[in-house]
Chains A and B, each alone.
Chain A
Amino acid sequence: MHEMAITQSIVAAVCERMGEAQVQRICVEIGRLSGVVADSVRFCFDLVTEGTILQGAALEIVQPAGKARCRDCGTEFALNDLLVLCDCGSANRELLAGEELRIREVEVLA
């Protein structure tokens, strides 16, 4: 389950950036095509944050939908998984959204 490693990466990055500041809320982007299960990250979050500046923080997860552009016909289309083909039949597509794995922001005690 790579979500444990992903959650550890999130917590380590925030601890490094924020020093001693107590984090009340964290907002993370996990795209629907990223290969990371948001619920699993939620599950790991409480375990991983114990004893850190994120302990007790609210975890907000934003999940951008998948979007691609066909390299053959130029059409932009939505996709729920990586196997969706363009209506023209092409698998040659460029992903525009859905793969995000980013820490957007944190809210800390002033």
Chain B
Amino acid sequence: MTTMRRSVMWQRVNRVLLYTAITALFLAVVFPFYWMIVTSLQPQDAVFTVPPELWPKHPTFQNYIDAWNAAPWLRYFGNTFFVASASTLISLVTSSLAAFAFATINFKGRETLFNLVLSVMMIPTATTLIPNFLIIRTLGWFDTFYALIIPFAASVFGIFLLRQYFMSTPVELWEAAQIDGASRLLYFRSIALPLAKPAIVTIAINSFLGSWTSFLWPTVMTQSQDKQLIEVALNSFLGEKGQQWSQLAAASVFTTIPIIILFFFVQRQFIEGIGGGGIKG
């Protein structure tokens, strides 16, 4: 009787400890976001208060208005959205076509080509930045959207993942489609592709997030203000605003919100994509 009561109590203590630990870690991780929001609502002079106010005494939305009016943010959002969508769409088309061929079509040189594509993964983008700068300039694409889209119009990760999906699609489906007189392209579009939807979602999220948050590449490949992507623009804004933390925080908030909203919708697929891809070969 007493041992049972003790173990129940022990369990309760354990639960309290568990939730305390999780909450503490959670607060530590989330605090900078809280601080970003609090700072964005502070009047400019309040950000220099020592010690800082944990809760704004005189919250104001003025920083958002000032920060928004200080730069052509709508343009930056438009650029980023356009570049991210275009590179995602194009890379989905190219990699699903290639993956389909690698998985289902028996063509000459298939293995060689596939190994060549896979070996691309061994060349990190950081090491090809300089020659790519030269190539982009030679193509006349410096400071254009082409420079931000076309180099990302293929995805080895996408080809690899989709190929696995297409290979696991039963051959009988293709045979049946052929008997019904379907062409290869029709089969690809109406049967194989819909079956690979989870992979497509994962690739799309990766690609979209990747180009939305890109910084080094657009820093190197673009110059004029009307070609800037959001992260580069935010860094320039930091250069202009120096220590006007409340406006900087406001700009950080409104440039981050689209990503957070997107993440809320796709977080399960995204997290499973990472968790699942971690170990298996």
A and B from one complex = no
Interface, chain A (partner B; CB < 8 A): none
